[in-house]
Each structure stands twice: as C-alpha cells, then as structure tokens.
A and B are shown apart, each in its own frame.
Chain A
C-alpha cells in the first residue's frame, strides 16, 4: 500500500482528497501547511506527495524544492494541485521538480489515475535498476 502525503490548507479539500485516496486503498497522511509537512516528511517515507501551492509558513514550491534537494527524499513523486493557473508558476513548479500539475477544480478520477501512473513509473524504474544491478 503506497504512502501518500497530502499538504493542503483548505480543510474541505484536505478531507475530500483524503477520503478519495483512502477509498482507493492508499495510506494517507495529511498536513495543513508547509511547516507541518516538513515535520511529517521527517517522520516517515512517502511514495507520493500531493501539495497545494498557496499555504502558510512554506508554500508548495518550497516543499517541492526541499524534497528535490534532499538526497534521501529525492525519489518521492510530487503532484501539485492548485488553483494558480498562470504559466510562470506552473513552469516554476516543474522546473523545481514537480512530476505533475493539476489545476483546481480537479477531477477525482484524474487525480487517481495520475497517482497510479506515477506509482507505476516508480515501480518500473525500480525493477530496471534492480535488473541492471
């Protein structure tokens, strides 16, 4: 069962995504802001991080940047979910290392498929690395 960390400051959205992913069989942990997310990331390993952009303490871009800068967490797949739709922010998120970007309002089914795809890619990548060794 994959571990997913959701970082979202909107309570309703946080609970909603948690319920949807929980129903899909994922182990979901939540954080309400960047600071709480950093604490959560210290405590456990995650396969996927779903993060909002506009949050108190540390925004989503800082979360992406921190994850990609940490050698032990660089492998985590990151999906940015935000209502920010301008080109600069989206490209900045990808430039920092986000794997995917979903603009709110989102489609629940689309989020699940994207998470599954990222997890499948990771699994395939791990298999390849093991084979090479």
Chain B
C-alpha cells in the first residue's frame, strides 16, 4: 500500500511537471489554501476544546473554593468576637492539595477579589488575611516579575485590590513604562497604595498622562480615603512633563488650592497656548481676583481659545471690575463665540450692576445679540 501511495505521488509530481506554468501556480495556491484552512480549523478546534476543558475544570473547582471561603470567612464563628488579626483559619482547609496547583491558586485569588469588591469591614479584612495566609501574595509578586505586561497589570491589580504594599523600587519604574496600559495601572496602584507620598511618581514621570488616564486617576484620587493631598503647585512650577502640569491644574481647581494661585499665574507667560488656556481656566475656577487685571491686559495678544477662557474666567470670578470690558467684547467682537461667552460672563456676575447692564444691552442690541442674551439667560444651559 505504501509503495502504491509513493507511486501515486511520483506520478502526480511527474504530471505536475508537464503542466503549464499558470496551472502549476494555481495548483500551488490551492494546496497552500487547503493547508492553511486545515491548520486554521485545527487551531480553532484545539482552542475551543481547551476552553471547554478549562471551563469544566473550573466548574468543578469553583464550588470548592467558594465553600472554603464561605466557611473560613463569611460564616467564621470568630467574626465580630475576636480581632481579625487573631482569627486563625483551619490549616487543613487551606493546605488542601488542590490549592497547590497554579491555576487553582489563580482562581482563589480572583474569587477572593470578587468577594472583597462586595464586602468591606471585618469580612473584607478577613478576606485579605486569607489571601496573605494562603501565600497568594507571593503568587502576585511572582507575576510582577513576568516579562508579559498583561501579567504585570494583573499582579498590580491584585495587590491593589488586596491592599498589599508594593515597594517603590518595584512599582515606580512601572509608572513610567512605555506601555500605556501598564503605566496607567501602575500609577493608579501607586496612588491607592502609597498613603504618604501618593504623587511621588509625578516627579519621575516622563511619559504623558493620557486624557483617559487622567480621568481614571482623578476618580481614584477623589475617591480614595485618607489620601495625603499635596500642594500641586510644586509640579506646576517644576515639572517638565506637560501632561503632569495640565493634570495638576485640574487638581488645583478641584481642591481649591488658593495657595497655588501665584504658581498658576506664572503659567500665563508660558509659550504653549494650551498651557495658558488651562492656567486661565484654573484661575477662573479658583476665582483668583488677583489674576483678573493681568488676564484682561494680555487678552488682545492671545489666540481665540485663550480669549474664550479669559472671558469665562471673568464670569467665574465675577468681581464686577471688568463689566465694561465684557460689554465691549459683546458689542464689538465679530466672533460669535466671543460674544456668547462675554454675555454669559456678564449674566454670571448676577449683581445689580450686571443685571442693569443686561437689560440695557437687551434694549439697545441688534436681533442676533438679543438672541444670544436670551439663550445665555436660560438656566438649563450650563457652561
């Protein structure tokens, strides 16, 4: 049979040799396509089988893990009777052979984290103790050493969720990683875990804090309990990383750090237009009356987005000293946005003088300007 097959292949090869070149190329493509299809299907089948087998294994193990956590933590007899640190787990339950397999240990970590997301207080603390007592901290730290960034992110997430301290030597380099996802995860973790100097990574950050990461960081900073909030003006003054400065300006405005006003005002001299716009925005939110005069003075030399920010800032500060300036911008500017923001800022003053000015403008302005004032007076339209 074997010799028959060899003979058949040999004949096919001989016939192939006498075929036209185009036919030969077409046949070669057909064979390659067939071969690739078989490979692709084999890979898909293997992956599906692997996922099925994994799911089956997990379904078998999951109830055991949940049962162990329930017995050792959720319905632990010593809860609320003995301090969490003094509660001892049943060694037999923790040292079961199934918890020696790496993938089972990973499942235990994930299950503990899921429980901890739902429970705080003593149960949350006891879950943390279980994680430490089972030696799962080592598993997470081992993952930190992996060369794969996904594993590192996973490890950082696990340690953060379990409130385990990571040394600066390990985490700080990751906050400056070239991989944006790893960088963001490390920065988030650093803020949550470092209670004394959670913003130390700002000093070493050379990679940018992307807008989406800024949102994430902002959420973490404003929701993490007992976080030491520093004076962000130090980074405004000294950081060479533009995204750090921009982010600090937002934080200064959020935490109403009045002492940062001089540092923010220094940015009005910066060559970068976007920086200046951010600084003006921050000064407006800080209602920095001391900056009003300077903003009005530089107004005519600024690009349009800085001008709009100045108009907004004057409305937010609302000292009433520059109503005439706002009025002239509203009446004589050819730019629609400028007129709109000037009108909004006059209205935002909400003083007898500003109200009288608005009434006057309504009577004396042309139709379009009257429409702008009516639009800006609508309380449902925010800015």
Contacts and interface: CB of A to CB of B under 8 A. Distances in A.
Contacts of A16: 70, 74, 115, 118-119
Interface stretch (B120-128, B171-179, B239-247): B120-128
A57 B314 CA distance: 50
B111 interface: yes
Interface in A96-121: 104-110
B119 A107 contact: yes
The dominant DSSP class at the B interface is helix
Interface in A48-72: none
A15 interface: yes
Interface residues of B, number: 18
A1 interface: no
Contacts of A104: 117-118
Contacts of A12: 66, 111, 114-115, 118
A13 B113 CA distance: 12
Size range of the interface on A? 10 to 19
B66 A105 contact: no
B154 interface: no
Contacts of B115: 12, 16
A31 interface: no
Interface in A80-107: 104-107
B226 to A, nearest CB: 16
B118 A106 contact: yes
A132 interface: no
A108 B123 contact: yes
Interface of B: 66, 70, 74-75, 79-80, 111, 114-124
Given A12-B111, A12-B115, A16-B119, 4 more contacts: A23-B74, A105-B119, A106-B119, A107-B122
